[in-house]
Amino acid sequence: MNTRMISIIIVGARGRMGTALIREVMDSDDLTLGACVDRSGGPGIGQDAGRLIGRSELGVLVTDELKPRRGSVVVDFSLPKATENNVRRCVEAGVPLIIGTTGLSADQERLLAECGEHIPIVYAANFSVGVTLLLQLAGVAAAALGPDWEAEIFELHHRHKRDAPSGTALRIGQAVAEASDRVFSDVAMLNRAGGNAVRTRDEIGVTSLRGGDSVGEHTLMFLGEGERIELAHRSGDRSIFARGALRAARWSLAQEPGLYDMFDVLGL
């Protein structure tokens, strides 16, 4: 039996996802915390990662520089402005990258694809196993229902979330569009305020709400004449995303270079 511990390097360690990842790594039987990285100049640099989450000291301090070692896996839930530096450091070190940073630009996504020629990269807007299945079901439903059914997406997140719509909501919209031979960027309706709000035949609406401490709620509605179908996922605990990301980290170590997503990780 292979009992080698997998070294996990967490980028964005002081964020909500970062602290959830530290807890999951500490509670795991096959993972060890290799390093914790957060933004330069931020509070908490030099703090012990165990103390950061209210536990005993681990001897791993939060630093402001990513220095991955071969054999480790980098898990990045930081900010888009750090993405280029982080992915290039992983390529230089030859280590897999699991990235859940949302709000990436088209150029940054192209960079991930380019760097995926050299290392395994798993990139997902949402690492929840349940959300991944929701995306699969969204495509199946859209293809089966056809053009007479209208698609609307609703998402709710906590007051501190920076981007809107959420990356997951946009990914749901893309799944619906792809399954019904549409280009999501051409049919996405992200704002109906003012003017004529009458719905067009092909559009896919996305509505965002921010408030409270909601970890994340997504509902996809298909509306027909006299009936409605809803597919929904509600996240009650941020640890579900951490567990999904760490599942991807374990999986990535056996993969060839490439740009992957959670569908690949789950074999869907």
Condensed to tens digits (0 to 9), the pLDDT of residues 60-81 reads 999 999 999 999 999 999 999 9
DSSP 150-183: EEEEEEEE-TT--SSS-HHHHHHHHHHHHHTT--
Strands of the sheet containing 72-76, edge to edge, are 62-63, 31-37, 6-11, 72-76, 97-99, 120-123, 258-260
Whole-number pLDDT of residue 125? 82
For every residue of 208-258, DSSP letters joined together read EEE-TT--EEEEEEEEETTEEEEEEEEES-THHHHHHHHHHHHHHTTPPSE
pLDDT at 1: 36
Nearest to 61 by CA among 9, 100, 20, 17: 9
Please pick, among 118, 158, 161, 218, the residue that the annotation labels catalytic: 161
DSSP 260: E
**161: annotated active-site residue:** yes
Give me the CATH code for the 6-123+238-266 domain, please: 3.40.50.720
pLDDT tier, 195 (very low <50, low <70, confident <90, very high otherwise): confident
What is the per-residue pLDDT across 119-170, written as a single tens digit (0 to 9) for each?
999 999 889 999 999 999 999 999 999 999 999 999 999 999 988 999 899 9
2 pLDDT higher than 70 = no
Q: Which CATH code fits 129-235?
A: 3.30.360.10
Check: pTM over 0.85? Answer yes or no: no
Q: Which sequence spans correspond to the domains of the chain?
A: 6-123+238-266, 129-235
46, 151, 154, 210, 251 from 189: Cα distances, Å: 45, 11, 12, 18, 36
- Tens digits of per-residue pLDDT, 198-253? 999 999 999 999 999 999 999 999 999 999 999 999 998 889 999 999 999 999 99
Confidence of residue 103 (pLDDT cuts 50, 70, 90): confident
**Can 81 be counted among the known catalytic residues?**
no
Confidence of residue 4 (pLDDT cuts 50, 70, 90): confident
Mean pLDDT, the chain, integer: 94
- Sequence-separated (6 or more) residues with CB below 8 Å from residue 250: 6, 30
Reading the block at residue 147, the tokens are: 């053009």
Structure tokens at 245: 């990301």
pLDDT higher than threshold 80 for residue 3: no
Q: Choose, from 67, 81, 118, 157, the residue flagged as catalytic.
A: 157
